[in-house]
Amino acid sequence: MEILRIEGLSKIFGSGHLEVRALEDINLSVSEGDLMALLGPSGSGKTTLLLCTSLILDPTGGKIVFDGQTIFQKNGWAGVDIRRIRREKIGFIFQSHNLIPFLTAKQNVLFPLSLIGLRKEEAESRAMELLRYMEIADRADYLPALLSGGEQQRVAVARALANNAKLILADEPTASLDTGRGMRVMELLKKIAKENQSAVIVVTHDVRMIEGFDHVYQLKDGRIIDEGQTQN
């Protein structure tokens, strides 16, 4: 089942001689269990596309269909609560983990669960289950500052999975990790995509990390210049 479809998406910053066309005529689609990579050098529009996909940035034109519902078209967001979609259907993984520093590993995973109104006992059990899945349950009560980079990223992945997200957006998830740890995170994302049937979109500049991805989009100057898939 298709999770996200983007048609003719564009984003223009500024106007007149200050106009910058950050994205132009972007078309892509991702379904349950798919792994998609967005590649490109700095300034190619990867992050802008991720912001639009995250429902944070208003596109200038085009259409976004999420989980079968048109949520953006020419006239703007189609009367949907975009924060609610983010909290209930999207999971985020960041380059620098972005764990909330004053919450323990378990509390970081509990936070999105508290936002969707899960009962405390249920939320606690789900959080521990995710931490076990990420093999970091023994660090559940540690503050992020006491965890290594790899451990922090595993907690971040657990947090992204907490709401059973249909779409997981990962912004350079391996950038702050060494190659070995980076590969392990990527393996984890692949496992999640297959086991949870979540669509995973990864923004990266490191082609070594996207082996086995179903879709790879190469961006340059705001346009998709190449589309394909990688081999296992």
Selected binder of other proteins within 176, 196, 197, 229 (CB under 8 A): 176
Contact between 114 and 191 (Cβ < 8 Å): no
DSSP E strand stretches across the chain: 2-13, 20-31, 35-39, 61-66, 69-73, 76-77, 90-93, 167-171, 199-204, 215-220, 223-228
Could you say which of 85, 155, 199, 216 contacts other proteins (CB under 8 A)?
85
> For the sheet containing 199-204, what is the strand order?
90-93, 167-171, 199-204, 35-39, 215-220, 223-228
Closest to 189 in 3D by CA, of 152, 161, 228: 161
Interface of this chain with other proteins, residues 31 to 60, rule: CB under 8 A: 47, 50-51, 54, 56-57
Q: List the interface residues with other proteins, window 179-208 (CB under 8 A).
A: none
Q: Which residues, 6 or more positions from 164, have their beta carbon under 8 angstroms from its beta carbon?
A: 196
For the segment 123-162, give every residue that binds other proteins (CB under 8 A).
143, 159
Q: Does 86 bind other proteins (CB under 8 A)?
A: yes
Q: Which is nearer to other proteins, 68 or 101 (CB)?
A: 101
Closer of 96 and 125 to other proteins (Cβ): 96
Percent composition of the chain: helix, strand, coil (DSSP 3-state, to 5)? 35, 30, 35
CB nearer to other proteins: pick between 179 and 227: 179
Number of residues this chain uses to bind other proteins (CB under 8 A): 34
| Size of the chain, expressed as the number of residues it contains | 232
Return the residue of 69, 114, 148, 179 that touches other proteins, per CB under 8 A: 114
- Check residue 95 for interaction with other proteins (CB under 8 A): yes
Q: Where are the beta strands (DSSP E) in 61-162?
A: 61-66, 69-73, 76-77, 90-93
- Selected from 78, 80, 103, 128, the binder of other proteins by CB under 8 A is 103
Q: Of 78, 80, 137, 175, which one interacts with other proteins (CB under 8 A)?
A: 175
> Where along the sequence are the contacts to other proteins (CB under 8 A)?
47, 50-51, 54, 56-57, 83-88, 90, 92, 94-96, 98, 100-103, 107, 110-112, 114-115, 143, 159, 171-172, 175-176
